[in-house]
């Protein structure tokens, strides 16, 4: 695989160790093709939503929510949003529950791209982003470090850099400055995600929330997703 393609993936997957990208991407296409992966992804989403939502998956409210969510996506520009742009190039599924799922995926990636911009604006690299998040107690260090591929030495170096900047104290906890920095990141992330909601307007925004909140609640009740982040912070 061409090196420039690997660099592109590395850039968009900001908080993953580059070695994970350089190993996983060439290997991935030895096992499957993009077309098969996308097909499996969609069929998995279909089966999962039908299992978790039951009869409600075909409710009129789902179709209405899908229409509103798609309108929200239309208010999002692709400029500077690489992962959002990539997902936006995919065709929209026809079944309403999958169209809603696709819209939510797009909105998530739109927000995620903004979050990366906020982290960079605050002067954090990928490993430092994880260190600050785990220092808040919002995610376990061992899980995050292992999943993103950062070594103990790289993690310690990131902690040292943050300590020198006054973000961490001698015990590795966030200082007042560090907490203020994370708060600024979250606020900026929220603001950068607002175009979608502004496009809907106050009435459309309230209606979409009213439609999807019971669905998300049911999914959580059925064990389809866990909420490990009670502070409401965005995963870096």
235 or 114: which leads in pLDDT: 114
Question: Quick one: angle between helices 34-53 and 96-121, nearest 10?
Answer: 110
* pLDDT score at 234: 46
pLDDT at 236 over 60: no
Task: Give which of 44, 40, 43, 15 is closest to 28, Cα–Cα.
Answer: 40
Out of 110-124, 126-140, 171-185, least confident range = 126-140
Residue 200: Cβ within 10 Å count: 19
For residues 228, 208, 193, 221, the Cα torsion angle rounded to the nearest 10 degrees is 10
Q: Which DSSP letter does residue 68 get? A: H
pLDDT at 231 over 70: no
pTM as predicted: 0.87
* pLDDT score at 198: 96
Phi-psi sector, 168: left (phi>0), alpha (psi -120 to 50), beta = beta
pLDDT at 229 over 60: no
50 or 5: which leads in pLDDT: 50
pLDDT at 2 over 80: no
Banded model confidence at residue 90, pLDDT cuts 50, 70, 90: very high
pLDDT at 24 over 80: no
* pLDDT score at 139: 82
- Mean per-residue pLDDT of the chain: 90
Task: Give which of 102, 17, 99, 72 is closest to 193, Cα–Cα.
Answer: 72
9 or 105: which leads in pLDDT: 105
| Mean pLDDT of the region 127-153 | 91
| Mean pLDDT of the region 101-128 | 96
| Mean pLDDT of the region 9-28 | 80
pLDDT at 167 over 50: yes
* pLDDT score at 23: 80
* pLDDT score at 86: 93
pLDDT at 1 over 60: no
């Amino acid at each position: 695989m061409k090196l420039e393609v690997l660099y592109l993936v590395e850039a968009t997957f900001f908080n993953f160790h580059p070695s994970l990208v350089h190993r996983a991407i060439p290997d991935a296409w030895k096992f499957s093709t993009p077309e098969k992966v996308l097909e499996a992804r969609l069929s998995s989403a279909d089966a999962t939503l039908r299992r978790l939502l039951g009869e409600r998956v075909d409710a009129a409210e789902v179709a209405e929510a899908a229409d509103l969510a798609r309108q929200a996506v239309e208010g999002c520009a692709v400029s500077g949003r690489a992962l959002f742009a990539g997902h936006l190039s995919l065709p929209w599924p026809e079944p309403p529950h999958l169209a809603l799922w696709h819209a939510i995926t797009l909105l998530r990636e739109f927000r995620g791209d903004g979050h990366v911009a906020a982290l960079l604006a605050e002067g954090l690299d990928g490993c430092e982003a994880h260190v600050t998040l785990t220092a808040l107690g919002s995610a376990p260090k061992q899980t995050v470090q292992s999943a993103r591929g950062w070594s103990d030495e790289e993690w310690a170096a990131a902690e040292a850099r943050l300590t020198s900047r006054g973000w961490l104290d001698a015990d590795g906890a966030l200082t007042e400055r560090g907490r203020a920095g994370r708060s600024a990141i979250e606020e900026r992330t929220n603001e950068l995600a607002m175009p979608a909601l502004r496009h809907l307007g106050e009435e459309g925004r309230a209606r979409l929330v009213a439609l999807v909140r019971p669905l998300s609640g049911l999914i959580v009740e059925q064990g389809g997703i866990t909420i490990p982040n009670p502070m409401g912070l965005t995963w870096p």
